[in-house]
Amino acid sequence: MISKSCGLAGKGGKPVLRTQVAIIGSGPSGLLLGQLLHRSGIDNIILDRVSKDHILGRVRAGVLEDGSVRELQAAGAGGRMAAEGIPHNELNLAFAGRRHFIDLKAHTGKDVLFYGQVELTRDLMALREAAGLTTYYSADNVRPHDFDGDRPYVSCDIEGIETRIDCDFIAGCDGQHGICRQTVPAAAITVFEKVYPFGWVGILADVPPVSVGLMYVNHERGFALCSLRSPTRSRYFIQCNTDERLENWPDQAFWDEFRRRLPEETAAEVTTGPSLEKSITPLRSFVAEPIRFGRMFLVGDAAHIVPPTGAKGLNLAISDVHYLHQALLEFYGEGSSAGLDAYSQKALSRAWKAVRFSWWMTNLMHRFPDTGPFEQRMQETELAYVLESRNAAAAVAENYIGLPY
């Protein structure tokens, strides 16, 4: 068993905790990392600036790659996912008013799984609570310190009390607006970014999904996406302008426009209903390099953002967790820093491939401000090639299922 230490000490009247890995952020990446470390005998504390209810109230992704499913199973979080998740092996692409599909399983032997991020997060929270592991929600003024040396620590206010957490390593799982990346000196990090000239209006509704389940639509009025969360809950999107406001999209207006963009036979299968949640999502690609800074490691959205077109955001966070968990296991179990030294290169290599796929899908399926007859014909030709070429279809399926770790 790997040795660990965790305790509470007094230092100048200020509480001081000790752990091996301090995890900032209790979204899926932070919770999954904490669970995997716990199962490996590595002590950890999780901190988050928001409440548990706030985290569970965020409606996010719902498509899990094969590798993500296996990683969650390894963490002991596969029970409810296996019972309630929906396997899906058909990627539908629609253009010129017709629906076409790529058989994911025929090309890869694998499928994707529909299981909402909120449910995944709920499962990981329950595992952490059942194990009696330490998590501090609604912690104020969380900030990493001295991660460029041998004794990093995190300062924060827990229930109004200034607290210090001494640790061996810090995992920054705190998202794109989190403090960890902000704390890195500007000269030590390079940012690559592309902002797309449109967004998505999304709706979540308790209505059965259209029979195709998952479909990407290229239409002259703009992109549309059919997805789902369960046999009775659907998640749908349509492309919109960047300056759109939610008040411009009452439910009926959304349903009318959504059906207008679908092939006729699919539009006839859509069941409408009141929205449970509605949002506007801007589309952007963002990658930070490197994502290791001494003894602090960026994970998930703190390190990279992708357009949701390729369903890669949550899955990239899980692959980051995989690499970091393996590196920490090697460090504590074998005394080797090789995995830690390679973390940034391994995680970013896979991330950039997912960024490329999301960029390709976004360019293929959306109408851009400068899309003219030539550009539209190129999109249609590219789509036709993907469907007519077994090799091209296999490449799309391989990327959608998820590249190996």
Q: Is 343 an active-site residue?
A: no
Q: Which of 136, 236, 343, 400 is catalytic?
A: 400
From the candidates 308, 322, 323, 346, which is the catalytic residue? 308
Among candidate residues 136, 196, 216, 343, the one labeled active-site is 216
User: Is residue 88 annotated as part of the catalytic site, yes or no?
Assistant: yes
Active-site annotation holder among 28, 38, 88, 346: 88
Q: Can you give the length of the chain in residues?
A: 405
- Name the phi and psi angles at 100, rounded to 5: -135, 160
Burial class from Cβ neighbours inside 10 Å (0-12, 13-18, 19+) for residue 50 reads: middle
Catalytic site residue 312? yes
- Is 11 an annotated catalytic residue? no
Catalytic residue flag (residue 304): no
- Choosing from 312, 322, 325, 346, the catalytic residue is 312
Residues noted as catalytic: 88, 216, 308, 312, 400
